[in-house]
Structure 1
């Protein structure tokens, strides 16, 4: 069913994308999951806003035994469409197979407190709500200058509050926690950008981390439990960089390095 939805969503794509998508579905049905992942990854690069394509790619990677990359794909799908329950279910299945099922890093407390109500909204819906309240407020203020409207100041104040809340939610959706997933069996995390250091702690395939900044071939990451340190960028796959869902095609690009080598 989800495959059919994805096919509908890319109907207007280029012939090459449609060909890759069809080849991916065929390869998946035939049990050639590595080829299916390759084809779906090509589609994902061309259609980075299509949640169902990332769901399909996650399925292919899961079946191919690439747990870390599958986690990243399902996370990407859920960022694009939080209502895609099939991706949520499969994400839980993959996480159950990881070594410790490490929880996802959470947004800042103030984000959770202010925008919890928008968790289930797509980014476009959140932006649409903000635009709706902006136009509504503008219409109210314009009308109030033309004719007498009872309690217009109270309505305008409420409109301003709703506009601020929905605009904040839209911003939060557009700027989520820079998330990445460990794709090596074991990933050492160091105090500094040097493999000569004793590892501070270990990550395992499928573990999700927040990427705070990068420096050359290194990334400063933190876990949901507050552990923090540097690791090799090649050992993680970023959730928001579709071209990187198959190993070796890039690295995460969160905020630039502006601090010292040590966290």
Structure 2
């Protein structure tokens, strides 16, 4: 069930605006609520809670594409946002297209899930903590007199350094993912994917509102897109909105 609203209080002005939008939502005035959330995002900056609220409003309006788009945006800013994850999964169940993941994409998604488990800042904190923990271990390895102890602390220090390095890598990937806009959501009820960036191109398959695609390249008014099952084709830019 999509019922919860989350509001963030950054300033008095924003708090009042968000409370008014939340009130409109509670009154089931979803069109007005969505418009106000959009205005707040445009004028006062973004937050995962605002994108989440906007996604809820669009879901109530049966605008599946916009709903999924905003849940995705909420999760980009806050990967651990449990309510947004739940609502995104719920909304994705309404999508017509049932894309079967390829083996390579499944592995990529598994790794991505690990990286997205924490925010960029949290990964950097983890990296710093394990780096600090590694220093005493390395000092014992260098200056210790007991051979067995030196060997043990060498491996302990190595593991801590490895965890620290991986955490920095994950933070970098998370940051790049936040800044990149190489994924999008189909916003049109149904659209034909072409074999070339042209209206006369071969019709390959059809996609429906709410389906997530990877944007591989852009040519004129067309995006080259790739699906989770590995399928590739061209679609007009007007049918896709980037996350």
TM over 0.5: yes
**One of 226, 230, 239 as aligned partner of 1:226:** 230
How many residues were matched structurally?
A: 232
Structure 2 Cα separation of the partners of residues 19 and 56 of structure 1: 15
Deviating more after overlay: 223-232 vs 145-154: 145-154
Deviation at 1:62, TM superposition (A): 0.8
**One of 29, 32, 40 as aligned partner of 2:29:** 32
- Which stretches in structure 1 are left out of the alignment for 5+ residues? 240-263
Give the match for residue 175 of structure 2: 174
CA 1:135–1:111 in structure 2 vs 1: closer, same or farther (change >3 Å)? farther
Deviations 1:17-49 (A, max 9, x none): 33432332122122221221121123334343x
Deviations 1:77-135 (A, max 9, x none): 23333433322332233223322344689986775565654442233322322233344
Structure 1 Cα separation of the partners of residues 185 and 102 of structure 2: 11
Query: Contact 1:106 / 1:224 at 8 angstroms: preserved in 2?
Result: no
Give the match for residue 211 of structure 1: 215
Deviating more after overlay: 86-95 vs 181-190: 86-95
**One of 10, 13, 16 as aligned partner of 2:11:** 13
Structure 2 Cα separation of the partners of residues 29 and 62 of structure 1: 14
Structure 1 Cα separation of the partners of residues 188 and 41 of structure 2: 22
Question: What is the TM-score of this pair, normalised by structure 2?
Answer: 0.79
- Match of 2:207, SS state, is strand
Higher helix share: 2
Give the match for residue 120 of structure 1: 117
CA 1:112–1:164 in structure 2 vs 1: closer, same or farther (change >3 Å)? farther
CA 1:86–1:109 in structure 2 vs 1: closer, same or farther (change >3 Å)? closer
Query: Contact 2:190 / 2:206 at 8 angstroms: preserved in 1?
Result: yes
Deviation at 1:196, TM superposition (A): 1.9
Structure 1 Cα separation of the partners of residues 103 and 174 of structure 2: 13
- Which stretches in structure 2 are left out of the alignment for 5+ residues? none
Structure 1 Cα separation of the partners of residues 204 and 214 of structure 2: 16
Deviations 1:196-229 (A, max 9, x none): 2132221100111111222332211111111111
Deviating more after overlay: 39-48 vs 206-215: 39-48
Structure of larger gyration radius: 2
- Match of 2:118, SS state, is coil
Give the match for residue 160 of structure 2: 159
**One of 61, 65, 80 as aligned partner of 2:62:** 65
Query: Contact 2:137 / 2:156 at 8 angstroms: preserved in 1?
Result: no
